[in-house]
Structure 1
Amino acid sequence: MRCKLVATAIAVALSAASVTAHAATGDTTIGGKMYFDVTHIDQKNSDTGKTDKTGTGTDVKRFYLSVSHQFDDIWSANLTTDFNYVASDGETNLFVKKAYVQGKFSDAAVLRIGSADMPWIPFVENMYGFRYVENTLIDRLKFGNSADWGVHLGGKVGQSGMFSYEAAVVNGGGYKHPDRSKSVDFEGRVAIMPIDGLVVAAGGYSGKLGKDTQTMAAQNTATRGDLLVAYVSEKFRVGGEYFAAKNWNNVTSPLSDKADGYSVWASVGIADGVTAFARYDNAKLSKDLDSAKKDTYYNAGVEFQVTKGFKLAAVYKHEKGNYTAATPLPIHVANTKTDEIGVWGEVKF
């Protein structure tokens, strides 16, 4: 399946590139975005010592290539391929992230059919502003997908788009897994901007995550509730995100579990083209089955706008993950600590 998707993505991208030379201005556009880093990682397990992820290297975490075509005033289409390579795990993949046809009937009603952005994670990324440095909380901890295959509807209403909403009925396995299951999942979000820059949003998810099949019935329904409060201006950002999930990692298990967590962040422009930022995450990942399973993460750094479309950031990151270990006996709480320091970058065109 992946090979077919990759072949299709390459063929469409190449044909679109040739169309651009002959089409009227604005009919077809091509863009791209790359996240990369050059860093040193020091990772240590409390039981076994340093892990194989310890070392210095370069990663291209993401490289998106997007092709968009506008058929008329209402209908358009988008294809976005995604490449990533992570030196620490040797993963190299090229796949389709977004592939959809869009009908924009008004600002209040935008319909997308195919693989498209989900209502929550991309919305929070836009508020946070430093996705190239780190995924947002739910994405980082794998309690949601940034895109999925299905039917998506969203829009904005009111003065200056004061109210906005998004809803998606999707397959549930995420954009890397377009397989069908016996049921579909739902994710939704509503947001209000009472004053310029201030955003308050709430959302939720419910479904089987694409795991309810004819040969393996789902035992539980995964649910997640989301809250966000953020203020964003040209020079200043501050915000916080909270989630509470149930059975996210227990859809096919008869056991039940819960998780919750929060993330707070802030950034401020300290000079022209220079921004200082910091973030702190804290999550309980298995409140019923392994109460010791917790994750703490923080980062701090300085971003430099090198030129239009090119950012660099000097950053320090720390993560500590606790869990219950059965070996060596006796049963005890172990942890893995990761410290990373280096330079992260974003190129966008």
Structure 2
Amino acid sequence: MNVMKLIIMGMVGCLLSVPALAENNEVQSKDDQKKGSAIITIFSDFHTGFGNVNDDRGFDLDRAYIGYQYSLPHGLQLKAVMDFGQSDDVGDYQRIGYVKNAMISWKSGKWTLNAGLISTTQFKLQEDFWGKRYVMKSFQDEYKFGSSADLAVSAAYKFNDVVSADVILTNGEGYKKVQVKDGLQYGAGVTVTPVKGFVIRAYGSFNEAPEDNLEGITNVAAFMGYKNSRFSVAAEYNWQSNAKNVKDQDQSGVSAYASVQFNKNIGMFGRWDYLDSKHDWNNASDGMAGILGAEFKLGKYIKLAPNFRIWSPKADGVDKSGYFYLNASFAL
């Protein structure tokens, strides 16, 4: 933990010193003026099950993000976001508040640096490409291959219009725990955009074992997708070794998703997931998931997505389940 604190303090110090490098007589352009904006995002839904899950129905408040970001001169930005959502540690009807982001960023030329409680890079591109976080989390987030934010430092460099690379050093515990045990997580990724709209990414990370009797966790991910103004299609493969720090407790899975935009306000989307575990250690959660729905944009800030879902478990003797969802997103 002390090492992490020193690294973050050093990164923050470097970022804060950047403006001092400018000449005193530099005249700020209009784009360099201070700019602030509120962040308010709410995800909610109504859902009802069919058949053996017919009694599972009701309204839900999945997430509420409240924060503020402030753009400073010389490429600096400050951002703080609170996340109010469900937790496995308390009752289903309770909501817990967490600090999701408390970070400083610096962009200059081909470099982007971040420090603090930041968004991780493990599946950020996949989540943005999927674009339906309010409907369902991206694969690695949904099946707990990693956390979407953590106390960390990261750096990204854009070599040219085709190739960029990034590295990240995190606590490895996620933003809900921040740091409760020893060990760090090291990650690196490469993104290739050979033509406009077509993206290929490879990412790998290693999370050190927090205790001597536990195993380190390795994550590997590969992604490929194409998107234009009318449609998108993508697929990803994910593999994790020693899940939950248990030796040989490996798991893997694939996710494929696509969308079609009829006009600026109406579109359709679909997704298919498959999760599998080595020697069926996670058999109760293994299986296939499918989703098919439509998206309606009501003005600038509101989106509605009626959709049907099916879950087909791998375990023998467990029935398939189907749901209808009406997901809603409000984002300022």
Q: Above 0.5 in TM-score? A: yes
Q: Deviation per CA, 1:135-179, whole angstroms, max 9, x where unpaired?
A: 1111111011111111111243313xx322222100001011111
CA distance in 1 between counterparts of 2:51 and 2:95 reads: 22
The residue identity in structure 2 corresponding to 1:297 is A
Further displaced range: 131-140 or 289-298: 289-298
Aligned twin of 1:134: 136
Aligned twin of 1:234: 229
Is 1:339–2:322 an aligned residue pair? yes
CA distance in 2 between counterparts of 1:288 and 1:82 reads: 34
Q: Is the 8 A contact 1:83 1:95 kept in 2?
A: yes
**What is the 5 A alignment of 1:94-113?**
94-106=97-109, 108-113=110-115
SS at match of 2:95: strand
Is 1:75–2:76 an aligned residue pair? yes
C-alpha displacement at 1:25, in angstroms?
6.9
Aligned twin of 2:9: none
Is 1:33–2:33 an aligned residue pair? no
CA distance in 2 between counterparts of 1:184 and 1:259 reads: 21
CA distance in 2 between counterparts of 1:42 and 1:91 reads: 26
Q: 1:115 aligns with which of 114, 117, 133?
A: 117
C-alpha displacement at 1:217, in angstroms?
2.8
SS at match of 1:166: strand
Q: Deviation per CA, 1:22-80, whole angstroms, max 9, x where unpaired?
A: xx974322122111111113585xxxxx59xx432111211111211233213321101
Give the number of aligned pairs.
Answer: 299
The residue identity in structure 1 corresponding to 2:62 is K
TM-score (norm 2): 0.82
Q: 2:306 aligns with which of 314, 321, 337?
A: 314
Q: Deviation per CA, 1:87-139, whole angstroms, max 9, x where unpaired?
A: 99223111111111222233x21111111111132210111121111011111
Is 1:170–2:178 an aligned residue pair? no
RMSD: 2.5
SS at match of 1:127: helix
Aligned twin of 1:184: 184
SS at match of 1:91: coil
| Higher fraction of helix | 2
SS at match of 1:60: strand
Q: Deviation per CA, 1:255-306, whole angstroms, max 9, x where unpaired?
A: 4222111001111113441111111001103446466862210100011111
Is 1:267–2:262 an aligned residue pair? no
Aligned twin of 1:221: 216
CA distance in 2 between counterparts of 1:183 and 1:290 reads: 25
CA distance in 1 between counterparts of 2:160 and 2:240 reads: 31
SS at match of 2:126: helix
Question: Structure 1: which 5+ runs fail to align?
Answer: 1-23, 45-49, 324-332
Is 1:193–2:193 an aligned residue pair? yes
TM-score (norm 1): 0.79
The residue identity in structure 2 corresponding to 1:38 is F
Further displaced range: 193-202 or 121-130: 121-130
Question: Structure 2: which 5+ runs fail to align?
Answer: 1-31
CA distance in 1 between counterparts of 2:128 and 2:281 reads: 34
Distance 1:98 1:153, change over 3 A: same
